[in-house]
Amino acid sequence: MAFAGMSLTELLKLLAPLIVAEVALKIYCLVSLARTEPRALPRWAWALIILVVSGLGSIAYLIFGRKRD
């Protein structure tokens, strides 16, 4: 296993950019959702999907839920 010899702090340093990127994506999607009327599902359902389904919920909102300009 590749991570077997790593300490917890080394693992967190490795994963920190991914965690920050996911949180930033969730914030962007939630702000976008608050500013526009979504497609396909009600606003509360998209918010739940964005928050609960890790990174895929945010990506699904960007592809299917956001109205295009």
DSSP per position, 5-43: T--HHHHHHHHHHHHHHHHHHHHHHHHHHHHSPPSSS-H
Q: Which band of pLDDT confidence, cut at 50, 70 and 90, is reported for residue 53?
A: very high
Q: Which band of pLDDT confidence, cut at 50, 70 and 90, is reported for residue 55?
A: confident
pLDDT of 25 over the 60 cut: yes
**Which amino acid type is present at position 39?**
R
Q: Which of 54, 2, 23 is closest to 10 using CA atoms?
A: 2
Q: Is residue 17 part of a domain?
A: yes
- Residue 45 belongs to domain spanning: 11-65
Q: Is residue 24 part of a domain?
A: yes
Number of domains in the chain: 1
Tell me what the mean pLDDT of segment 32-60 comes to. 92
Which pTM value belongs to this model? 0.80
Under a CB-based contact definition with an 8 Å cutoff, are residues 60 and 33 in contact? no
Mean pLDDT over each residue of the chain, to the nearest integer: 89
Under a CB-based contact definition with an 8 Å cutoff, are residues 33 and 46 in contact? yes
Q: Is residue 61 part of a domain?
A: yes
pLDDT of 42 over the 60 cut: yes
The pLDDT, as a whole number, for residue 69 is 61
